Structure 1
Amino acid sequence: MPEDPTHTTSPRIFDVVAVLFVAFLLISNIVATKITALDMGPVHLVFDGGAILFPLTYVLGDVLAEVYGFARARRVVVLGFAVSLLASLTFWLVQVAPVGPGYTNQAAYEAVLGFVPRIVAASVLGYLAGQLVNALVLVRIRRRWGPKHLWARLVGSTLVGEALDTLIFCTVAFIGVIPAGEFLNYVLTGYVYKVGVEVLLLPVTYRVIAGVRRVERLRHDEVLAA
């Protein structure tokens, strides 16, 4: 697939956006090991710790796809996938390494950072599928209907990407672990929350995209078109 033309030959802050994207992903994967719940009167919500920061990876994913094109966005998504696997391998190696004298937190380490194959698989598969689809949908909408209506691209890509990501992660990681009655709540809560956060952050995403375009010195008509 050809590169989206809406970026300069030598990006100025592409590396910054990419590093933040991967950092948010790694942090989210670690804190996702905790399942929490909130009781707000008649409403009972179940979600994991990754819900706090993970939606921001979709904001940055939108910036990558909208400003730098699908090819560069895909490169960062695949890089995040590789780093996630490296992190999981490192956690596992540390877990199985002999316990040193005076270290009494092995059980706590295994509980939080221990290698759990299905969690790792759920995380990387959901992330890879969701982020690639998110970027692809955003770019396809732009190519079909032009650069106007940025909100439609951002919301549309998020609805599809987050649905795929949430369904894959929740099913692979926690089906059979979370009681059946709570599982659907967990999936729906996670999906609605993540999409809701990105919708609420649309004004921020607009400003970030416009700011990145200015830094990258894109053509004036492209900035206005966003």
Structure 2
Amino acid sequence: MTAPHPTPRPTYDLVLAAFCALLLISNVSATKLIEFGPSVEVGGFPVLPIITDGGAFLFPLTYVLGDVLAEVYGLAKARRAIWTGFVMAALMSLTFAVVAAAPPASDWPNNDAWNAVLGFVPRIVLASLAGYLAGQFLNAVVLVKIREWFGPGRLWVRLVGSTVVGEFADTLVFCLIAFGPLGAFLGGGSLDWPTLANYTLVGFVYKVLVEVIFLPVTYRVIAWIRKREGLSSPTRVEAPVAG
């Protein structure tokens, strides 16, 4: 007698694909630092301009999708998505490194420009992967643990609480590796400590605010996916599912 096939989860695959796509786009976008506002200091600490990077536009949405995965499908499926994103980002970084090392065509004039932008990606991806693993796993675990401790109510507490913990770890690790002393050790530039503190704090606060702003959307997405998948609780799919 053959074993029954697992129930297909087509919506999970779509969320997983979006999760990985947002991660990869953000890793490349994060190679550009951007700033908004005039130069303002308070007690020697730069309050303005606001300093962030191009990854800030989409990367917070990976935490929104991470919350959806953990809340709807449970920790096992969320963990699978996190590792899938990790492998894809590592593959992207390796590919860029190989391309950067390959000799350019004699009549192609853009090699220096390409290396100046995408040659910066491996260090950014290393920082992103380290922060990503710490942040996403903490985000998923905290969300599930809050549900276990306080029950299925107060979804907003789980979504915001898990994001605060996950984004803090993610942002701190990323900033220290990408633009802190570790970044300089790995062959890139580093920011001075006041600017690095500004960059880290702004990134953390901004990402948490995105989670809060997207709460109504997250609620509706979770409800829609549960209805589409026929799920009432993530515990129904908490056990590992083949395929």
User: TM-score normalized by structure 1?
Assistant: 0.90
Given candidates 1, 10, 13, the residue that maps to 1:12 is: 10
Q: How far has the Cα of 1:101 moved from its partner?
A: 3.5
SS in 2 for 1:114: helix
Given candidates 207, 211, 221, the residue that maps to 2:224 is: 211
Larger Rg: 2
Given candidates 192, 210, 214, the residue that maps to 1:201 is: 214
Tell me whether 1:45 sits opposite 2:50 in the alignment: yes
User: TM-score normalized by structure 2?
Assistant: 0.84
Q: How far has the Cα of 1:117 moved from its partner?
A: 4.8
Where does residue 186 of structure 2 map in the other structure?
none
Where does residue 204 of structure 2 map in the other structure?
191
Q: How far has the Cα of 1:194 moved from its partner?
A: 0.5
CA–CA separation in structure 2 for the residues paired with 1:168 and 1:38:
23
Deviation string, structure 1 residues 72-98 (Cα, Å, up to 9, x no partner): 000110111111110000001111111
Count of residue pairs the alignment pairs up: 214
Q: How far has the Cα of 1:41 moved from its partner?
A: 7.9
CA RMSD of aligned residues (A): 1.7
Q: Between 49-58 and 95-104, report the one with greater CA deviation.
A: 95-104
Indicate the percent of aligned positions where both proteins have the same amino acid.
Answer: 55
Where does residue 88 of structure 2 map in the other structure?
83
Residue type of the partner of 1:217? G
Residue type of the partner of 1:119? I
Where does residue 23 of structure 1 map in the other structure?
21
Residue type of the partner of 1:207? R
Q: How far has the Cα of 1:119 moved from its partner?
A: 2.4
CA–CA separation in structure 1 for the residues paired with 2:79 and 2:173:
19
Q: Between 150-159 and 169-178, report the one with greater CA deviation.
A: 169-178
Unaligned runs of 5+ in 1: 1-7
- C-alpha spacing 1:127/1:154, structure 2 compared with 1 (3 Å): same
CA–CA separation in structure 1 for the residues paired with 2:15 and 2:132:
17
Deviation string, structure 1 residues 199-218 (Cα, Å, up to 9, x no partner): 01100100111111111012
SS in 1 for 2:131: helix
CA contact (8 A) 1:12 1:215 kept: no
Q: How far has the Cα of 1:158 moved from its partner?
A: 0.2
CA–CA separation in structure 2 for the residues paired with 1:117 and 1:12:
32
CA contact (8 A) 2:93 2:122 kept: no
CA–CA separation in structure 2 for the residues paired with 1:118 and 1:180:
19
Where does residue 172 of structure 2 map in the other structure?
167
Residue type of the partner of 2:129? V
Q: How far has the Cα of 1:44 moved from its partner?
A: 2.0
Q: How far has the Cα of 1:118 moved from its partner?
A: 3.5
Q: Between 154-163 and 34-43, report the one with greater CA deviation.
A: 34-43
CA–CA separation in structure 2 for the residues paired with 1:22 and 1:41:
36
Q: How far has the Cα of 1:45 moved from its partner?
A: 0.5
CA–CA separation in structure 1 for the residues paired with 2:52 and 2:29:
11
Tell me whether 1:109 sits opposite 2:118 in the alignment: no
CA–CA separation in structure 1 for the residues paired with 2:209 and 2:179:
23
